[in-house]
């Protein structure tokens, strides 16, 4: 029997981090469609993130991307965020947009370029010192397009050396989240292509290095919940970049393409006791809203994750365990599907009402007048960085 009060408490305590870049313009490599009212500054991105938090109650931190969110005074930016009711979350590095990085950043054959890329990682840790951020999120676009273009194994050595330098610079509760991605922009071989590579580098580095799973960064058909279960068992799952995909790294709203997959992932999280923020997993969004309005799309993504989580919490684990133990395949599957097929929207509406929130955050956003206000106030919003 599921304890409904406990389910509601877990849902109220859930935390989801929003990405600053999702509030700004983005696009595909074919076109960036500019939207009116998008943020022009890191402060305006933070203000938008604060709106998402005020309406959902579960998104109290916003991740920054450097250099897109570079400012002179990070203490002032952190104070501004606090005044808006949010905190600065993970610091994302960007070693993929400089001409120097054509043949790689930390894995580049040129030691001077490797130095520049590694220095950027260290700069990001300096920023964490000033914002109080715990997480350094590393994603390397490094890889090669043609067999023979560079030595696969030497590139791993160069990667390990740069990671070591960054790792040794961490203090306090700071940690590294090492993200992987199967392909793109490199097409033949990527230097951190999969969770196994990320995991092996994390183990080599030490306990403060954990894997970040971006749900869009796998081959089609990959069983992501297996990766979740495995990494949790090893104590090496540090974070998610949630988004959804139909084909490759589509960066669509979490839960839009495959809500059942999101449920299966969240079930492994609940099963592993890892939903509680105290466990330390950073549940981030990493999305781009190319054609839809950004703030309500981010709110919708948060709600989709909440719905998947509520269903995962509703799984009758005693009944599931009994069915599994007795080898009752159909019953075990039915127990899981019963939870998935529950309409949890009324339950989440109650959780929001209990927290003094509008039960319908997307509707509340539309009624708030905020969209009209930013369209009027903000002229000349910037891109997140793509094509800039
Ligand atoms: C990458 C990766 C990173 C994100 C950038 C914008 O594909 O997912 O997490 O920082 O995109
Ligand atoms: Mn990502």
pLDDT in tens, 248-263: 999 999 999 999 999 9
What angle (nearest 5°) sits at the alpha carbon of residue 370, between those of residues 22 and 11? 60
Using CA atoms, how far apart are residues 388 and 278, in angstroms rounded to an integer? 38
Token pair of 32, please?
Answer: 């960036």
Which of 44, 56, 60, 43 shows the shortest CA–CA distance to 368? 56
Token pair of 326, please?
Answer: 């007795």
pTM above 0.95, yes or no: yes
The percent of residues in the chain predicted with pLDDT above 90, rounded, is 97
Stretches in the chain below the pLDDT threshold 70: 1, 383-388
Neighbours of 354 (CB within 10 A): 13
Neighbours of 4 (CB within 10 A): 12
pLDDT of residue 385: 66
Listed residues: CB within 5 A of ion ligand 2:
214, 241, 286
Q: Is the dihedral of CA 291, 293, 298, 303 positive or negative?
A: negative
Residue 284: CA atoms inside 13 Å, Cβ hemisphere, count? 33
DSSP for residue 92: E
pLDDT of residue 375: 97
286 Cα–ligand 1 center, Å: 7
Do the beta carbons of residue 271 and residue 245 sit within 8 Å? no
Integer CA distances (angstroms), 165 to 26, 67, 143, 209, 387, in order: 32, 20, 20, 13, 30
Using CA atoms, how far apart are residues 231 and 242, in angstroms rounded to an integer? 16
15 Cα–ligand 1 center, Å: 20
Q: Which residues pair with 87 in a beta bridge?
A: 61
- On the question of a cis peptide bond just before residue 150, with omega within 30 degrees of 0, the verdict is no
Q: For strand 143-144 and strand 189-190, is the pairing parallel, antiparallel, or unpaired?
A: antiparallel
Instruction: Give the 3-state secondary structure of residue 5.
Output: helix
Using a 10 angstrom Cβ sphere, with 0-12 exposed, 13-18 middle and 19 or more buried, the burial of residue 223 is exposed
Do the beta carbons of residue 174 and residue 138 sit within 8 Å? no
Q: For strand 135-138 and strand 143-144, is the pairing parallel, antiparallel, or unpaired?
A: unpaired
pLDDT of residue 4: 97
Ligand 1 mutation target, pool 89, 92, 142, most atoms within 8 A of CB? 92
Using CA atoms, how far apart are residues 118 and 277, in angstroms rounded to an integer? 30
Residues with CB under 6 A from ligand 1: 21, 65, 92, 139, 179, 181, 214, 241, 249, 286
Using CA atoms, how far apart are residues 93 and 86, in angstroms rounded to an integer? 21
Using CA atoms, how far apart are residues 56 and 16, in angstroms rounded to an integer? 10
Token pair of 123, please?
Answer: 């700069």
H-run or E-run covering 166: helix 152-168
Do the beta carbons of residue 257 and residue 245 sit within 8 Å? yes
Give the ligand whose atoms come closest to the C-alpha of residue 93: 1
Which of 349, 333, 203, 180 shows the shortest CA–CA distance to 260? 333
Enumerate residues 6+ apart whose C-beta is below 8 A from 197: 180, 191
Ligand 1 mutation target, pool 28, 97, 286, most atoms within 8 A of CB? 286
- On the question of a cis peptide bond just before residue 26, with omega within 30 degrees of 0, the verdict is no
Token pair of 256, please?
Answer: 């839009």
345 Cα–ligand 1 center, Å: 30
């Amino acid at each position: 029997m599921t304890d409904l009060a406990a389910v509601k408490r877990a849902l109220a305590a859930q935390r989801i981090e929003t990405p600053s870049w999702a509030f700004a313009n983005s696009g595909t490599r074919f076109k960036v469609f500019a939207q009116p009212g998008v943020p022009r500054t890191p402060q305006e991105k933070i203000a938008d993130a604060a709106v998402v938090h005020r309406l959902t109650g579960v998104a109290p931190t916003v991740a920054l991307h450097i250099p897109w969110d570079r400012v002179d005074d990070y203490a002032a930016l952190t104070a501004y965020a606090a005044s808006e009711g949010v905190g600065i979350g993970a610091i994302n590095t960007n070693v993929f947009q400089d001409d120097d990085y054509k043949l790689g950043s930390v894995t580049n054959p040129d030691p001077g370029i490797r130095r520049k890329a590694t220095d950027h990682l260290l700069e990001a840790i300096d920023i964490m010192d000033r914002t109080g951020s715990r997480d350094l999120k590393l994603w390397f676009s490094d890889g090669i397009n043609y067999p023979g273009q560079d030595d696969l194994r030497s590139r791993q050595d160069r990667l390990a050396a740069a990671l070591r330098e960054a790792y040794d610079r961490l203090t306090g509760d700071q940690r590294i989240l090492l993200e992987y991605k199967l392909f793109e922009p490199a097409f033949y071989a990527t230097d951190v292509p999969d969770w196994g590579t990320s995991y092996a580098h994390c183990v080599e580095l030490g306990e403060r290095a954990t894997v970040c799973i971006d749900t869009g960064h796998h081959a089609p058909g990959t069983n992501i919940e297996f990766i979740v279960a495995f990494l949790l068992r090893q104590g090496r799952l540090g974070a998610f970049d949630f988004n959804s995909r139909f084909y490759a790294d589509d960066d669509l709203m979490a839960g839009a393409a495959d809500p059942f997959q999101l449920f299966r992932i969240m079930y492994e999280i609940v099963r592993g006791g890892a939903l509680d923020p105290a466990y330390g997993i950073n549940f981030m969004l990493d999305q781009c809203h190319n054609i839809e309005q950004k703030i309500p799309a981010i709110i919708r993504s948060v709600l989709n994750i909440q719905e998947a989580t509520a269903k995962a919490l509703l799984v009758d684990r005693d009944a599931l365990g009994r069915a599994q133990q007795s080898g009752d395949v159909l019953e075990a599957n039915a127990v899981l599907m019963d939870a998935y097929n529950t309409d949890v929207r009324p339950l989440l509406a109650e959780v929001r009402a209990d927290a003094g929130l509008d039960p319908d955050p997307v509707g509340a956003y539309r009624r708030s007048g905020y969209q009209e206000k930013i369209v009027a106030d903000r002229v000349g919003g910037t891109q997140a960085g793509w094509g800039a």
